Each structure stands twice: as structure tokens, then as C-alpha cells.
Structure 1
Amino acid sequence: MNPVDARAAMVAELEKKDGLRPGPVRDALLALPREVLMPQAYVRRSAPGEEPPRWDLLDWSAPQDRPELLGLLYGGISVLVQHDGEPLLGRVRGTRSGASITSMSTVMGLTASLLQELDLRAGQRVLDIGTGTGVTAAVACQVCGDQGVVTLDRDRHLTDAATVRLAGRPRLPAGRGVRVRGRGVSRAGAVRPIFVSYAVERAPAALVDQLAPGGRLLAHVTSASPSWPGLAVVERTAEGRIAAELRAVEFAHRAGHGMERIWLSEEFRQRIATEPGTWAQRSMLAPPTDADRGLWLAADHLLGGLVRDFGAEHLVIGAPACGSWLRVEPVRRSRWDVTIHGPRDIWKEIQDLVVRWRAAGSPNRYRLLFEADGGQQAVSTCGRLSWQLPTPRPVDEGAST
């Protein structure tokens, strides 16, 4: 398959699975040669758990690499582009071992849906926070015109590569006039769409202040847990007022630089799967479903410290800080075996929150209120379920993704 056919196949899949609609974003994705923005990418060669991990850097200039690289670039998955914080320009293809992947291009379905949500239009001034591989900036250039696009990233190696690849290659349909900047606060002035391509703890107030009337900002908001993210959608009305909501979503960008993360270790997962727990019961109360995303978003903030094991067959949740865990398995219709371990009764915490969530109308979206003292609060429409987002920290606009 050649790149043109691969792009068409990728866009067709985005239409089928991710709701990509006819319009400027779709047209831009059809025109965007991803092999220009990502002429090199990593593929993992080591088995899960193998130490040290091994990756091969594939190079578009090497004919033997092109078939596999084409599948990576247009397969819709995350594309691994940086190992151990290295420069992207001047690399030699081959194997790397140890350390970790430090930058990747986001899953294409997520990027496409967010770009559609931004409602990009010709002539808009766009601020793209988190340049990464430059895909978002390239699409914005194609739709809005590259003279009004500013993209920032804290990783100089990423901005160096994006500058060269956006501006120096004639095959890109747009990008020569885009301004690529390194770490620091944006001086883009008032802009309409603002795209933040990494997760944050709250909507960045400094970016909200830059929204022009009619402008929209999108940023994923999460706690330290990666399990149940929200999407902050912030708009400034034609009259200058801010209207915002926090939507429960299934997937989100990776956390921004320096943001605390908690995980379930492999050893912890094994203990949850095999140990008997502190106590067990057979319950007629059903666990929340995966579709109850508004409930899980509230749990992420109101209960705190919980991580879901999405690789488990049934509901498994752990609290790494205290070692508590929950395992729920169906035994027959309307009956579940519930096993609890540790100082936290996670099952009771969740069931108590279910009652509150349902009393609030089972929302999947919450109003996001900006308070006079700088605080931010998520509130259900009826006001019966709410929580405060973390207190502000210095904005690091341009965190790498």
C-alpha cells in the first residue's frame, strides 16, 4: 500500500469508528503526509516484562522499513517517536534498549475527534499547546491558514524537529508560516481555538484568559489516576462571558510534565487476582457499568487514589497508597461476589456515591465554574453533586506529549 491509499484507509476507519464527519478536518487528514512529520518511529521488539526493553527505530528513508512504518503511521495507534529524551533530528536507525519512550503521537481517533470539537475555520488564530510531532499544528494550518497558528512545547528537541518538518518540506500542504516556540508562556494574544494536548489537573486559567470572544479551549482534566478522565470544554461568549463544562470521556491525553501519576504495579495486580481478601460477600447490588462515565469521573475526584485494572476480566480497583483493593465477579443473574481488602471499603464508597450520582440525575457532564478566588468547581446541573478541582499551580504551557 502507498501513503495516499494508507491515508484514505485511515480516514475511512476514523469515519467508521470515531465519527469523523465530512468537513475541513477530514480534508486536512486526507492531505497530510504523516511520513513527513514522523519520518522515524519506534516499534517495540521486547516481550512484555522483558528487561531491559528494546525498540527498533524505523526510518522512512530506508526502503526495508517503509512497509512496517507505513502501518504504524496510518494504523490509528499511538506512534512512538522519542526515546529517553533524545534529539529527533539526525538520528540513526537501529535498536535502542533500556530507558523508556518519552514522546509519542496521540491515537488518531482521539486527535481527530478533538480537532472536530474545536470547530476550526479559515482565518482563525490558533494556539496549540504541546507540539509533539506537529500533527495538530499541521491540521490547524491546513484549515485555518498557517499565518495564525502558534504551537508550543517544553521539549526543545520536539520543537526543533517540528520547525524543520512543518516549514522545510514542500510536500506538506501548509505549515511554512506556523510559529513553533519552546517552553514559556504564550504571547499569542487573544485566540479562538486553544488545543492542549496533554492532561492537566484543572483548566489552565492563563489560557482561558487568552480566549477571544467566540473562542473555545479543550483540555483533558484528570486526577493522579489515569482511569477516569474528563474533558474541559471552555468557551468565551460573544459578550465576553466564560461558559464551561467537564465531560466524562473514555480516553484522554497523557499527563503533562511533572504531573503526579499513580498506577497498579504488576505485583499488586497479581495479589488482587489471587488473594482471598479481608472479607467477601454475595451482593444483589450491581457494580456501575463502564458506560456510567459520569459516575466514574465523580469517583476519580471525590473518592480519590483509585486505579482501575482495565485488563481484568471483571471489575478490579486498587488504591496503591494504602494497599486496599476491590474485586467484583458475577456469579449468576443479579448476583455478584464482592471481595474487599485493606483499610478502605472501596465497595461501600462506590455504592454510596452511586446513590448521590443517581439523585443528581446520573450526569455525564458537569458545569465547570470559575470562582472569584481562582478556584474551579465541577457541579451537576441540579447542584446536588460537586467537587473542587485542585488548587492552581504555575502553568507550564507546552508540556511534551
Structure 2
Amino acid sequence: MRTQEWANVFATVPRHVFVPQWYEQETDDRGIAVWRHRSIADEGALGDVYRDETLVTALDPMTAQRVADDAWTGVPASSGTLPSLMAGMLEELTVEAGHRVLEVGTGTGYNAALLCARLGDELVHSMDVDQALVDVARQRLASVGYEPQLLPGDGTQGYPTGGPFDRIIATCSVPSVPTAWIQQLRPGGILVTDVALGIEGGLVRLSVGADGRARGFFTTTAGRFMAARSEARTNPSPERPERPPATGPRPTGLTAAEIRANYPLRLVLAFQLPGTELVYYVDDKTGATALQLQRGDGSWARVPLTGDDQDRVTFGGDEGLWKQAEEAWAWWNSVGRPAQDRFGYARETDGSTHVWHLHDGTRWNLPI
């Protein structure tokens, strides 16, 4: 915590009121990964809710399946963010007395409570796509004396009654900064959000000018959020194209270990390869695991996580996919392996976005 004001707020607002129950992932006795239900009523659990960890609070009803009395499989739909990440984002927001704030992603209501404790109820506005989450958050906030302005709805479309706001904070990820957020910020206003860029993404802090242009940088606070949704269920899985047969392998200096260990490198790969995903691939025959880049046209390239061939890449389709990744890795090394806060982010008035390296000016244009 960098400021005493936020330290005092975190010491005041009780997290367990907003996360009285949650799900922890574990492997059951059949070897299946399940979400085990936990509650502050369980023995020893009250202290667990104050761990610096993200706590999954809801599973997508379209994917959730009960497999035991207190265990489910499924995809997380909502969570209570780890406190250190929330603290970092709130510090980046640089709020001051009198600032009117919009939060996108009410979730448990805990972050709204922190903002209320710092600014006062009347200045805090919060939205969530899930009506049920908003209703529960309202009850929990009221139980500790806070009554911010809460509304259900798609927060990427902005607050229904409009701005202007001095600050906007989003606890969900977006592929690019929504126009509505720019329009509802006062000139000079600050926006903190998670931008998802495919392979990787990160938190950006942007200042909006009177002309509607937003410029800023990736923050020293690193963290990721669930994707913003337009309805109260998780986004459907995209259809996958048929993958072409394997070619290779060939030697490469870019290994899975390098990619996994270096968050800034993954960001650079995302800049270099827009529209590309980074996934784990498991061989059906051998069970061997690899790190795989894959594009929407079906092209793919993978490097093993373990074994004797970790410095060899196998690919299918366009061989240029991995060559571009190697070029990005070579550039990142050549400029001294810069951290994420050495990269700027801009959203232009026409909605286009780009990022750049703050020292040598290398620029990447991103899809709208």
C-alpha cells in the first residue's frame, strides 16, 4: 500500500461481509478438478477469506455441474479479486475528495465499499451485468452502512444516466477501451482497466483529453480479470478451426520456459501477434504438455514444457507464426527486456488503438 488513506480504508472495510462463501479448486479422489464450496461458517475459514488471493464466488450456470454435495465442475463467472491487486488499481486511480467514480463490475460489492469508505456513497456508481449480483451486493453494502448508486446492465455501454465521471475503474477485461467510457470521463479524467490482447493483456492507466483521445501506460500493478460480458453468463467458447498437420520440428531459442516466466515478453508477443491465442496443448497419445500459439486461420506452433526437445518447435500451417514470435523475443532482448510499465497505450478519437515502447518508440497497431 503506497498511501495511508487507502491503508486506512482496507483496515476499515470487512471483506468477509462481501465474500461469506466461495469456491476453491482442488482435485478430488477421482482425479477430477472440482470447485469445492467454502464458507466463513466452516471451521478456520474466516481467516482464509482475508488471504491475498482471488476467491471465486460464482460459477457459470450454463457449465456448472454438481459432482458431490459440496463440489462442482464448471467455469468461474464472478470472483472477489485478491486485495493486493485491488489496492494497486485503486492507488493507480489517484482519487481525490469530491471525485465522481464509475466502477464497471460490481461483483461482490467489496470494491464499491472501499470506494464509498474513501469518497462517500453519493459519489460512487457501480454496474454489473448480473442483476442477482447487484441485488446481493446492495444488501451487503447496506449491512455495513454504504448505499452507492448500483445498477444492473452492460457496463461497457457506460452508465445509463451518463457522466461525467472523474474516474472509471473496470474490474473486468475488455479487448479495447469502450467509446462510452471515453465519452463519460471529464477531460483529464483517469481510467484504469484490464485490456485483453489475446496472448496476454494487462492493466492500463489512461488520461482522457478534451478531444476524446486517451493516452497512458501499462501499470506496475500486474493482474488479469474475467472478460466483460453482455449478459449474465460466461461468453460461449469460440468455434475452433481444423488444425493443419504437423511439420518439423526445428530448433528455436524461444522456449516455453521463457514465455511462461516473463510476463512482459507475453505482452510483446500479444502486440506482435494480434488475434493469436496462447494455450496449453496436451498430446492425446502421450500425455505430453506443450505451450501452443494458435491463430484463427488454423495455423499453430508449439514447444514442449518438459523433456529433451524443449528447444524445438513443431508447427502446422503458416511457419511465419513462430518466426514472428521469435522476432518479438529477439527485439525484447535487444532493448534490455523492458518491464510492462515501459509500454504506452493510446486510444485515438477514431477508436483505433496502438502501443509503443517508451524508449525506442517501436509501435504496434492493434485491432479495433
Alignment TM class, shorter chain as reference: 0.7 to 0.9
Residue 346 (structure 2) aligns with = 369
Check if 1:33 corresponds to 2:14: yes
Q: 1:95 aligns with which of 63, 70, 91?
A: 70
Deviations 1:360-398 (A, max 9, x none): 8866444333334332222344543311232xxxxxxxx
Matched, 1:219 2:189: no
Distance verdict in 2 for CA 1:196–1:121, change over 3 Å: same
TM-score by length of 2: 0.76
Distance 1:44 1:362 in 2: 34
| Amino acid in structure 2 at the alignment position of 1:256 | A
Which residue number corresponds to residue 201 of structure 1? 175
One-letter amino acid of the structure 2 residue matched with residue 40 of structure 1: Q
- 8 Å CA contact 1:285, 1:336 repeated in 2: no
Q: Is contact 1:378-1:389 (8 Å) kept? A: no
Match of residue 366, structure 2, among 388, 392, 396: 388
CA displacement, residues 46-66 of structure 1 (integer Å, 9 cap, x when unaligned): 5298569453352x4x4xx15
2:96 is the counterpart of 1:126? no
Tell me if structure 1 keeps the 8 A contact 2:92–2:205: no
Superposed CA RMSD: 3.9
Is the alpha carbon distance of 1:103 and 1:359 closer, same or farther for their aligned partners in structure 2, counting shifts above 3 Å? same
Change in CA separation of 1:372 and 1:113 when aligned onto 2, cut-off 3 Å: closer
Paired with 1:159 and 1:206, the residues of 2 have a C-alpha distance of 21
The amino acid of 1:325's aligned partner reads A
CA drift of 1:246 comes to: 4.3
Aligned equivalents of 2:261 and 2:71: distance in 1? 40
3-state SS of paired residue (1:122): coil
8 Å CA contact 1:278, 1:339 repeated in 2: no
Q: Does 1:210 align with 2:184?
A: yes
In structure 2, relative to structure 1, the CA distance for the partners of 1:261 and 1:199 (3 Å cut) is: farther
Q: Specify the SS of the correspondent of 2:11.
A: helix
Deviation at 1:285, TM superposition (A): 7.1
Q: Is the 8 A contact 1:146 1:175 kept in 2?
A: yes
Amino acid at match of 1:386: W
> Which residue of 55, 68, 81 corresponds with 1:106?
81
SS of equivalent residue, structure 2 residue 122? helix
Summarize the alignment of residues 205-284 of structure 1 with structure 2, pairs less than 5 Å apart: 205-223=179-197, 225=198, 227-236=199-208, 242-247=213-218, 250-257=222-229, 278-282=247-251
What residue is the counterpart of 2:267 in the other structure?
A: 297
Letter in 1 for 2:70: T
Q: Distance in 1 between matches of 2:57 and 2:229?
A: 17
CA shift, 1:358, in A, is 6.3
Q: Which has the higher strand share?
A: 2
Contact kept in structure 2, 1:244 and 1:368, CA below 8 Å: yes
2:66 corresponds to: none
Please tell me the residue identity of whatever aligns with 1:299.
Answer: L
1:175 aligns with 2:166: no
Q: Percent identity?
A: 23
**1:73/1:97 CA distance change after superposition, 3 Å:** same
In 2, the alpha carbon distance for the partners of 1:81 and 1:284 equals 41
Deviations, residues 197-226 of structure 1 (Å, cap 9, x unaligned): 100000112111111244210111113x3x
Shift of 1:76: 1.5
Residues 209-264 of structure 1, C-alpha deviations (whole Å, 9 max, x = no match) = 111244210111113x3x42122321135x77744134277531111116676799
Distance in 2 of aligned mates of 1:25 and 1:48: 43
For these two proteins, the number of residue pairs brought into alignment is 339
Using a 3 Å threshold, how does the CA distance of structure 1 residues 113 and 141 change in structure 2: closer, same or farther?
same
Tell me if the contact between 2:101 and 2:124 (Cα under 8 Å) persists in the aligned partners. yes
> Cα gap change, 1:243/1:310 in structure 2, threshold over 3 Å: closer, same or farther?
farther
1:189 to 2:158 alignment: no
Contact 1:331 1:337 in 2 (8 A): no
TM superposition shift of 1:112: 1.5
Higher relative contact order (Cα pairs below 8 Å, separated by 6+ residues) = 1
Distance in 2 of aligned mates of 1:242 and 1:111: 26
Change (3 A) 1:250 1:310: farther
AA aligned opposite 1:211: L
Could you report, residue by residue, the CA deviation over 1:79-110 in whole angstroms, capped at 9, with x for unpaired residues?
12224459xxxxxxx63545444221122222
- Name the counterpart of 2:128: 153
CA 216–286 in structure 1, closer or farther in 2 if over 3 Å, else same: same
Structure 2 unaligned runs (5+)?
63-68, 283-287
Does the CA-based 8 Å contact 1:229-1:250 persist in structure 2?
Answer: no
Per-residue CA distance 1:14-59 (angstroms, 9 max, x = gap): xxxxxx224222211111111211222234465298569453352x
1:326 and 2:311 matched: no
Where do 1:67-86 residues align within 5 Å? 67-68=44-45, 70-85=46-61
- Shift of the 120–297 alpha-carbon distance from structure 1 to 2, 3 Å rule, reads same
In structure 2, the CA distance between the partners of 1:134 and 1:310, relative to structure 1 (3 Å rule), is farther
Residue 180 of structure 1 aligns with an amino acid whose one-letter code is: L
Say if 1:115 and 1:48 are closer, same or farther in 2 by CA, change over 3 A: farther
- CA distance in 2 between counterparts of 1:293 and 1:83 reads 27
Cα pair 1:376 1:389 within 8 Å, conserved? yes
Structure 1 SS opposite 2:174: coil
Amino acid at match of 2:12: A
Does the Cα contact within 8 Å between 2:354 and 2:363 map onto a contact in 1? no
